[in-house]
Amino acid sequence: MSSLMKTNKAQGEVHEIPPVYDACSRVLVLGSFPSVKSREGKFFYHHPQNRFWKVTAGVLQVPVPRTVEEKKKMLLDGHLAVWDVIASCTIAGSSDSSIRDVIPNDLGCILDTADIRQIFCNGAASYNLYRKYLQPVTGREAIKLPSTSPANAAWSLERLTAEWEQIRQWLRD
């Protein structure tokens, strides 16, 4: 069986990337579930074409981080927490539309530790999954942002960054 066929076959996956947050985090950004590249790299938004790191660096007005340690530092210094809605699911490759058998993450570890002022979702899939599985538990509304995924080619980097800049208001003390 070719590796292409393997990645397109739906299979059970468990989220193994721990959330990034600390007590100073003010904004929580949620994805849906890590892509194949992120699962392989064991860190969020690991696909080289995903614009998450460029967009968040633009919002925070800092240089784009390169290493996982630089990415963690940028998030924490910028008071951003990052995780995903789903703890485990059945998924074909990285396709959000194929997600089934969802077990959501427990956001309590973040919400009980940090003063999260607003939750944002990176794209429609994350937003819809959050509303279905987690909003009833947290009681908190989330704001849907356009996805930084390379599949969202209709949005330029500049347009994405401009839309994501609304995060800044929640980071101010």
Whether residue 2 is contained in a domain is answered as no
Query: Which residues form the domain of 156?
Result: 10-171
Structure tokens at 94: 């990285």
Whether residue 88 is contained in a domain is answered as yes
What is the total residue count of the chain?
A: 173
State the DSSP string of 96-144: GGG-EEEEE--THHHHTTS---EEEEESHHHHHHIIIIIHHHH---EEE
- For position 13, what pLDDT does the model report? 73
- For position 15, what pLDDT does the model report? 80
Whether residue 91 is contained in a domain is answered as yes
Q: How far apart are CA 81 and CA 79, in angstroms?
A: 7
- For position 6, what pLDDT does the model report? 43
Cα 117 to chain centroid, rounded: 17
- For position 133, what pLDDT does the model report? 96
- The sign of the dihedral angle between the CA atoms of 65, 68, 69, 73 is positive
Evaluate if pTM is beyond 0.85: yes
Distance between first and last Cα of the chain: 54
Q: How far apart are CA 11 and CA 152, in angstroms?
A: 24
Counting the structural domains of the chain, the total is 1
pLDDT tens, per residue, the chain with 173 residues = 333 434 467 667 778 899 999 999 999 999 988 878 888 888 999 988 899 999 999 999 999 999 999 999 999 999 999 999 999 888 777 777 777 889 999 999 999 999 999 999 999 999 999 999 999 999 999 999 999 998 898 999 999 999 999 999 999 76
Whether residue 5 is contained in a domain is answered as no
Closest to 155 in 3D by CA, of 127, 117, 124: 124
Structure tokens at 100: 């089934």
CATH of the domain at 115: 3.40.470.10
